[in-house]
Amino acid sequence: MNRTGAPSLHRRLAWGVTGVAAAVLALTGLALAMGYENRLVQADEALLQRAALVLRGRLAEGPLPAAQMDAGAGAGAGAAAEQAQLDRAVATLRVAYPELQAAFVDPPAAAESVPGTAALAGSGGPSVHRQLDANGRAFDAVDMPLSLAARPRAWLRVALPADARERQLRWYRRELLALLAAGTALCAWLAWAVVGRSLRPVAVLSRQARLQPEGEPLAPHGVDVELRDLIDAFNGKSLYLAQAVRQMEGFSADVAHELRSPLSVLIAGTELILSSPHSPQALREALESNLEELERLKALVNDMLFLARAEQGERARDLQRVELGALAANAIEYCSSLFDEARLEVRLEGDASAVCNAALVQRALVNLLTNAAAYGRGPGRVSVHLQAQPGRVRLWVYSPGEPLAPPVCARLFERFYRTGARPGLPGHRHGLGLAIVQAVARMHGGQVFARGEDSGNAIGLELPGALSMNRPPGGRGLAMG
């Protein structure tokens, strides 16, 4: 039962079906009423036409008997005799039709003005028209011309009162309206029951969804086709929410784990300084150490916030056409000291341009180069590759060393994942560098990739919608050694 006042699908569907059924019943009732009225009218018209033809035949049978005709009476006696003959004929018909009436009437100004004149000229019967008596009572009447001895230009009018038919129609309409009301009520009850039964699977799904363990999809087996899209959407959203919860839990755990060590160092150093008097120089060195740890914490927090925005679907903005070769050269120059320390030479191969956010792509390139400096084994050569392909451009960094296994490559872009980094390398302490590369690719609608090769590893990203021109392999290079 709906107790909140919210819209009810059950009620709307039931009322909708009832409305359709009521409309169909109303149209059916209207058609029946009109058909019944037409049948009554046609029956009365046929009766009047038959009666008029019968009366005309009786009046045209020939001269009256001699006993009924007074030769000295003249035309008046003939007219009375014709009237008597009409009364006898009407009395005979009233045995079957008590309300039938007939009378001689004055001829109209023109025969064409009287309905039925044209029909009498042919094979059909006279037509029916409506007449009102002195009291305003309505009659259906038929007028036809006669040629009698005393009335050579007489007209005969045969009529039936219309109120009898109107009473019958009113009764029929009342009965029909009662039937329609009963039919509508029955349809409403049936619609409520059928719609409720049809919506029962929705209630079952609702109970299953409430009782379903978190992250487990609903089973679509045995469910109506119309509900499968709803189940698929629910399962997709449930999976998304479960992943979001896991990411949030992992994010919180990672942040707590990474913040614990620098905070412990800061607390321990501060307690040591406060435990005994120290010279100004010692205090300055302690503050510088604390500042370095705080800078690390700031960088970690900024990186985590950047990843959080990317995971929430933030897209790259301020897009423009960028020459990736110049961008990569700046990144190589920025990381030159790391490669000097690792005894690695860096070379840039290829060139391309892409519509992207230059700052974000340069940040990704710096992280890829920093990762290569941390994991590359010198002496050797690190190569930065830019390659344009139809509808996309690929940027990757190859570093010499032991090839990574596919399971390791699959986890390289996870937050805080580290494996085999060279110890003591500045700027590579959090384990967020490749995660940020993946975030940059996602913000541009691209993807990342990593693969182990014969004597090293290639790690990079792919950006969509690039227009570029490849340079020959030896066309451009920067060597740092």
What are the residues facing 96 on neighbouring strands? none
pLDDT given for residue 260 in this prediction:
75
Q: How far apart are the first and last CA of the chain?
A: 78
Tokens of 420: 């085999």
Q: Are 291 and 284 in contact (CB under 8 A)?
A: no
Residues 92 and 141: their CA atoms lie apart, in Å, by 19
- CATH fold of 320-464: Heat Shock Protein 90 (3.30.565)
H or E stretch at 281:
helix 280-311
pLDDT given for residue 470 in this prediction:
45
User: DSSP label at 124?
Assistant: S
pLDDT given for residue 208 in this prediction:
78
User: Smallest Cα–Cα separation from 357: which of 469, 431, 439?
Assistant: 439
The β-bridge relationship of strands 344-349 and 380-389 is parallel
Side-chain-side CA neighbours of residue 260 (13 Å): 6
What pTM does this model have?
Answer: 0.49
Could you state, in chain order, the average pLDDT of each consecutive group of 10 residues for the chain (481 residues)?
A: 65 90 93 91 87 84 50 63 84 85 72 37 59 79 81 83 87 93 92 87 80 74 75 80 74 71 78 81 82 79 77 82 90 88 88 88 90 82 89 90 86 76 50 86 90 88 64 39 37
User: Smallest Cα–Cα separation from 56: which of 117, 163, 147, 133?
Assistant: 147
pLDDT given for residue 156 in this prediction:
86
pLDDT given for residue 240 in this prediction:
76
Residues 438 and 460: their CA atoms lie apart, in Å, by 9
Question: Domain extents for the chain?
Answer: 8-125+159-198, 225-311, 320-464
pLDDT given for residue 149 in this prediction:
74
Residues 420 and 426: their CA atoms lie apart, in Å, by 15
Pick the CATH number of 225-311 from 3.30.420.40, 3.20.20.70, 3.40.50.720, 1.10.287.130: 1.10.287.130
Q: Are 471 and 408 in contact (CB under 8 A)?
A: no
Tokens of 214: 């978190």
What are the residues facing 105 on neighbouring strands? 155
Q: Are 233 and 245 in contact (CB under 8 A)?
A: no
Rg value, the chain, Cα: 52
**Burial of 310 by CB count in 10 Å (0-12 exposed, 13-18 middle, 19+ buried)?**
buried
Q: Are 95 and 46 in contact (CB under 8 A)?
A: no
Q: Are 421 and 429 in contact (CB under 8 A)?
A: no
User: Smallest Cα–Cα separation from 56: which of 79, 94, 82?
Assistant: 82
H or E stretch at 179:
helix 163-198
Which residue in the block uniquely carries the two structure tokens 């008596």? 133
Supply φ then ψ for residue 341, to 5 degrees.
Answer: -65, -35
User: Smallest Cα–Cα separation from 156: which of 96, 94, 89, 92?
Assistant: 89
Indicate the Cα dihedral angle 425, 431, 434, 440, nearest 10°: -110
pLDDT given for residue 420 in this prediction:
57
**H helix and E strand count, the chain:** 12, 11
Task: Give me the count of residues in the chain.
Answer: 481
